[in-house]
Amino acid sequence: MRDNSWDRGTDMRIGIDVRYLSHGLVGGVHTYIAHFVPALIACAYDHEIVLYADTKRPFELNTIPPHVTVRYLPYRNPLSSLANDLLMHRQVAHDQIEVMHFPANYGFPPRGTRTVITLHDAINILPLRKIVRGHRKDLRTLAMMSYLHLCSTIALHRADLVLTVSEHARREIARQGTIDIGRIVAIPHAPTPDLRRVTEPAILNAVRAHYGLDRPFVLADGLKNPAVLVRAWHRLPTAIRASHRLVFFARHEPLAVVREAEAAGIARVLINPPRSALIALYSMADAFAFPSWIEGFGIPLLEAMTCGAPVIASDRGAIPEVVGDAGLLADAEDDTAIADHIARVLSDSAVAQRMRERGFARAALFSWEGTAQIILSTYSQVFERPSEGAAHQIA
C-alpha cells in the first residue's frame, strides 16, 4: 500500500545510492555520480527522489529541492559499508521506491522494486584470476576484489536494466557477463562544469612557475601506459626533444619508468596536482598524450579537448568513441606511430589548431544535462514494463 504522505501525484518514486558523495572519494565513478545526480534532480522535478547516503563524511550536495529527500544510513566503521550494501533494501522498501538506481557497479533492492545499475566497465565481472592479476596479493586486496566481483556479477544478472558509459563497455559487459546486450544501454560521461580553456597569463604563469615548467610540454597521465610515451619521446627529432618536455601527472606514485624519465631530464612528474592546476596544465599543453591500454570511457580525453589540448591517444577500448575525428590515434604499443603523431602536432601549428578546434566541437557534444535526461528515460522504461529481475531480488 502506498504511503499517502508521499503522494503528490508524481510519476515515479526514484531511489539512488549516492554513498560515493559521502565518502570523500575521487575518480571516475565519483565524477559520474557527482554530476549526473544534480543534473537528474533538475530535470526530474515531476518525480519523488530519495538519495541514500551515509554518515562517513559530510554529504557533498548542499542544495536539496523539495522533491528530493536524503536518507543517511549509519556509518560507524569500515564494516558499515558492507552492512549498508546488504541491508539498504530495508530502507528502500520502507520508502516504497519504485525504481532504484545503483550507479557504482552493484546494489541489491527489495523484491518488487525495478532496478537499474551502472556498471562502468567489465573489469569487476571478469574471471577473478584476471581481476587480481597485476595487483597485490595481500588478504585485504584479495578479499575486496572477490567481494566486488561477486556483488557486481550478482547485480548484473538481477538488474532490470544495466547502464554503462560507452558502446565498447556495453559490448564487453554483454560478452563477459553473458547477458542480452539489449538489456544494456550506453550513456556517456560529460565534461565537468569547472573545465574551460584558461587563457589568463597570470594564472598560466603562476602554474608554470610553481612546477618549474620552463619550456613547452606534452601532458600525459603517468598511470596510463607511460613506457610507450618514453620510448616514443626518444624517437622524436633532436630539435623537438630539446625544445619540449614530457609532463606526467598522477594521483599516486607512477610506474618506475616515469621516474627514470624524470631523472634523465626528459620529463617532469606532478603527483596529485590540484584541480585548478590540472585545468591550467591542459590549457597550456602543446598536446595531451593518452596511450592507455584500455578505457571504459576515458574522462581525461574530454578534459583535454574541453581545455584545448590536441589529443594523441591509443585506439583501444572506448577511446575512438570519445575522441571521434578530433584526435590522432595509434596502437597503444606502437611507439613509432605515437612519435610521428607527436612530431606532427608539435611541428605544424596549423595541424595543432585544427585539432584544437575539433576537440572543442567534439567535447561540446557531451553534457551532463543530456546524460541525465537519458538516464531518466531509462527509469521510465523499466517502470513501465514487468520486472525481469524481481524474482531474484531480496525479500
Q: What per-residue confidence (pLDDT) applies to 130?
A: 82
User: Can you read off the three cell numbers belonging to residue 393?
Assistant: 531480488
**Residue at 233: amino acid letter:** W
| 251/158 same-domain check | no
Strand blocks (E) in 266-340: 267-271, 287-290, 311-314, 327-330
| Domain-embedded: residue 233 | yes
| Domain-embedded: residue 184 | yes
Q: What per-residue confidence (pLDDT) applies to 215?
A: 96
| 235/334 same-domain check | yes
**Cβ neighbours around 376 below 10 Å, total:** 20
pLDDT at 134 over 80: no
| Domain-embedded: residue 15 | yes
Reference 107, options 16, 12, 174, 32; nearest CA is 16
| 214/153 same-domain check | no
| 49/119 same-domain check | yes
- Alpha-helical segments (H) within 194-316: 201-211, 226-235, 238-243, 256-263, 275-284, 299-307
| 40/108 same-domain check | yes
User: Can you read off the three cell numbers belonging to residue 236?
Assistant: 622524436
Q: What per-residue confidence (pLDDT) applies to 38?
A: 97
| 31/162 same-domain check | yes
Q: What per-residue confidence (pLDDT) applies to 5?
A: 40
Q: Pick the residue with more confidence: 274 or 10? A: 274
| Domain-embedded: residue 89 | yes
Are the C-beta atoms of residues 270 and 249 closer than 8 Å to each other?
A: yes
| 123/219 same-domain check | no
Domain count, the chain: 2
**Cβ neighbours around 335 below 10 Å, total:** 20
Q: What per-residue confidence (pLDDT) applies to 4?
A: 37
Q: Pick the residue with more confidence: 9 or 227? A: 227
pLDDT at 3 over 50: no
| 171/260 same-domain check | no
Residue 167: which domain range?
4-190+368-392
| 18/158 same-domain check | yes
| Domain-embedded: residue 227 | yes
| 12/123 same-domain check | yes
Phi, psi at residue 225, to the nearest 5°? 55, 55
Q: pLDDT confidence of 174, banded at 50, 70, 90?
A: very high
For the chain, the average pLDDT equals 92
CA–CA gap between residue 148 and residue 242 (Å, rounded): 47
- How far is the CA of 355 from the CAs of 110, 214, 237, 361, in angstroms? 49, 24, 22, 10
| Domain-embedded: residue 167 | yes
**pLDDT digits 0-9 by tens, 79-89:** 999 999 999 99
| Domain-embedded: residue 195 | no
**pLDDT digits 0-9 by tens, 197-221:** 999 999 999 999 999 999 999 999 9
**pLDDT digits 0-9 by tens, 375-388:** 999 999 999 876 55
Q: What is the CATH number of the domain that holds 114?
A: 3.40.50.2000
Q: What per-residue confidence (pLDDT) applies to 6?
A: 41
| 126/11 same-domain check | yes
Ranges 20-24, 135-139, 180-184, 343-347: which has the least confidence:
135-139
| Domain-embedded: residue 196 | no
| 12/140 same-domain check | yes
